[in-house]
Structure 1
């Protein structure tokens, strides 16, 4: 048995887990071995309990399928269920690890036996999350994320029903490219084949995603990466309320304090920048403005209807300041009387 066989077997197993089907020639090329060696290694994996299926035809090859028993992945049944539940929970909104959780969940559920999938679903159904004050936003179905993540991985066309921001619902057919988690919203970056253009779909407005079995050559995204594409689209999205002003801070500071996308803040010099805000919720803009020092009033313009909300927030802050001042004076008088 070759000295590098264990490493090659692990590499082969890793490749089988990264996408749905590999041809024998592709695997041989990746591992730098012959087709005969690939066939022998596949047989070895099967002997170890890995359910590697062989497909025939023009698009034939090998794929790792779900078997009657969980393959020896150094996980017992309880550990596999625990990991799947944890990944589903993470995919539903634990900040910072959403995309990684979805990728890992797609790999695990691909080989998870049906009886363990049932256990995962049972635990998930019996678990009640506790909403926290700082969390919020739309909820995304983890199973939808898994389907879309697999379609992105396999470059497989999917169909689904989509509801736009105006409430219009209709069928869509798209080539998925990537999922982007923009807390608390998940976005699907995909090429809409019917409208012949790149689109951004909110996953919480997407229902019934169905793989078609048709794979395509990935298109070139008109951006450095999926996250940059989403950021650019969101930065130019229109809003019912707008606000433009000069901010007395550098662009990086203004972006950090207002939680604005890069396209909304532009530098003027090392100490000033322009701030362009747009939102359907006026309170969102009002809250963002609390974090920055604005420049001269002649640089400020936007939607006049935003003014009452800014005044309302200002009055609330003044009342709170007055209450604290009154309390301080009372405390001082009380202490002096003693």
Structure 2
């Protein structure tokens, strides 16, 4: 078995354990369909999990369900690099917002996550964190008109931000007019609960701020951009001069 196949199987075993813990009834065919493998592969996976000490019960018969014993814990989480980065950045945002609730253990969680990274990846995560800015809470007027961005837009924006890749977007202004833009997502700005992208706008050839929930579509271009320092965007980030594209 190759290293890639081994890693894929270990990841699948972890996901199956979580699914069995969460679902009261799950069949082998369900698991096979969800993970894109055969029922025989899932049966081998379940056998290996039993050998590792997991208490997995199974009903007899072709349609029988499988479940993890209710009192058995899944154990430690084994996050992918991308998942760990997302969690660490979310913790950083929570800490920057200085909320008095639910922060007692975040420092410990953050330190454990950071310790799991190699020095090179640690530096990369720190650079990503420095590109997330926290502003004042959005006004009631803005909050009333805000909505959650489409999931596909969030996914493309997330990846373009991490990879420093130019993004083609269809953007809807406050007056309802739409335009096609190519932007460089340099920084993310949170004016709770609304997220903005601080970007270089190729249509205007100048820095602009775009509300994420006004992006109707977003597509990565595969064209990298060089990160610009915050002071290049300072006029746009100053509260008195904040302008939304």
TM over 0.5: no
Q: Give the alignment's TM-score, normalised by structure 1.
A: 0.32
Structure scoring higher RCO (CA < 8 A, sep ≥ 6) equals 2
Computing the radius of gyration from Cα coordinates, the structure with the larger value is: 1
